[in-house]
Amino acid sequence: MPYLNTSTEWYEQSSLLLKARPTSTRITSKYTVLKPSASKVKKREKYAAKQAAKPANTSRTSSPPPQSQNPQEVTATFVLKTYDPVSGTCLQYETTKAAEVGRLVSSLGRLGREMAALPEAIEDLSAPQDAGVATPKVDEQGDAKMGGVPVPAAAGTGGKKKKKGKK
């Protein structure tokens, strides 16, 4: 029962398992919110005290220092498991990243299509949904205009250039 390192690795392996055995393979997801244990709270408080004792580095301008974590903050985990009882194969992936949970839940829909033996939905994201051949719009004077976006009058191309700072 291996834990896979990345979500893409889990998705690819699960997809292959579902293609091999679509009727018996099952995907389960489990979302757990855990309150930290007393030892975890002590470690977090000790780390926060250590960081507070350190002198602040003022020469660091690229990004702000990381914000301190509340020692009492809960930890949420999301576990995905793909299991096939016929072959005994079990694939697991666990994450604590909130942004990744949404992507994983949406990928479950694509994997579900394979379980239901539906064809893959091919989405062309390069063109807008309502793009296509449209009838030309006629204005008050009777002139036909193509497209719905008005073209602005000649925009000024001149202007002052940005001055460079001294080195």
Instruction: Going residue by residue through the chain, which has 167 residues, state the pLDDT in tens, using 9 for 90 and above.
Output: 678 888 889 889 988 888 888 888 898 999 988 887 788 778 878 888 888 887 765 555 444 455 556 666 777 889 999 999 998 999 999 988 888 888 888 888 878 777 776 776 666 555 555 555 555 565 666 665 555 555 555 556 667 777 787 77
Measured CA to CA, the distance from residue 81 to residue 85 in angstroms comes to 12
- pLDDT given at position 74: 72
DSSP conformation class of 144: E
Question: Is 65 among the domain residues?
Answer: no
Question: Is 132 among the domain residues?
Answer: no
- Show the domain range for 34: 7-54+72-93+100-116
- pLDDT given at position 63: 46
**How many structural domains comprise the chain?**
1
Kindly report the pTM of this predicted structure.
0.52
Residue of 24, 11, 3 whose CA lies nearest to 107: 11
